[in-house]
Amino acid sequence: MLATTTSVGNSGLLESLLPAFERESGVRVRVHLVGSGLALRFLEQGQADVAISHAPSTEARFLRTNPGWWYRKLMYNDFLIVGPAADPAGVGTSGSVDEAMRRIAASGARFASRGDESGTHVRERELWQLAGVSPAADRLVTTAQGMSATLRVAGELAAYTLTDRATFDAVGGAFDLVPLREGDARLLNTYAVLVDPGGPNVPTRPLARQFAEWLTDGQGRALIERFRIRGRPAFIVWPADRPRETPDAVPY
């Protein structure tokens, strides 16, 4: 059982990875698509054998409680601030992501928040904190849904939102939203795979580790590298020569 982020599921990457792993190993992988916080909780509670997360601060918290977990960075891309092409808050001309968040908060525009403890929601909260602002309560729209649904809400409301690049490339074009802020170091989006070697599901422990290592060091790496959305790489596989064993590791 794999508990993985909705951004990985929405991208279509699993449709490339899982059949290849099943053919090679004979192991079937079932999937729960949830936010990173819930994926890690499923792993902790034995409801999942493997987790893929993109919330480094949340990963660090779970690793402090579960120091025996096996952890590896897997891949990365970035977050985007997207919104209506008219850009009433002037996000597109901001000089930094901090300034972009302050402009949104100061404007009359709405912001669609996932509000679900996903990796994207955790990063959104961190960005508001770093900017030293937050939008007025009546302009913060909490969807409590995945990224694709949140993009749809943002498009319908002409609101801003934070999204991972893979989901936006896959579905964002249908929602009258455009990328307005990208490329900042604080928008780096890293994905990690975690396994509990001492988990309660004894028969699946070696299979979980086999799958995780296939992703990080086996054929999975090449499949991630080749995966495209509309001709663009959706994720960049974690460089083999970079540290990858801790949540604060970065790929460059």
CATH fit for domain 77-187, picks 3.20.20.120, 3.40.190.10, 3.40.50.970, 1.10.287.130: 3.40.190.10
Please give the span between the terminal C-alpha atoms of the chain, in angstroms, as a whole number. Answer: 31
| C-beta contacts of 22-29 below 8 A and 24+ residues apart | 24/214, 24/219, 25/207, 25/210, 25/211, 25/214, 27/207, 27/210, 27/211, 29/1, 29/2, 29/211
Q: Is the pLDDT of residue 173 over 90?
A: no
pLDDT in tens, 19-46: 999 999 999 999 999 999 999 999 999 9
Q: What is the CATH number of domain 2-76+189-237?
A: 3.40.190.10
Distance (Å, whole) CA 20 – CA 25: 9
Report pTM.
0.95
**Residue 215 and residue 209 in contact, taking contact as beta carbons nearer than 8 Å:** no
Matching fold, domains 2-76+189-237 and 77-187: yes
pLDDT band at 129 (very low <50, low <70, confident <90, very high): very high
Chain mean pLDDT for the chain: 96
Q: Mean pLDDT throughout 126-140?
A: 95
Q: Where are the domains of the chain?
A: 2-76+189-237, 77-187
pLDDT band at 172 (very low <50, low <70, confident <90, very high): confident
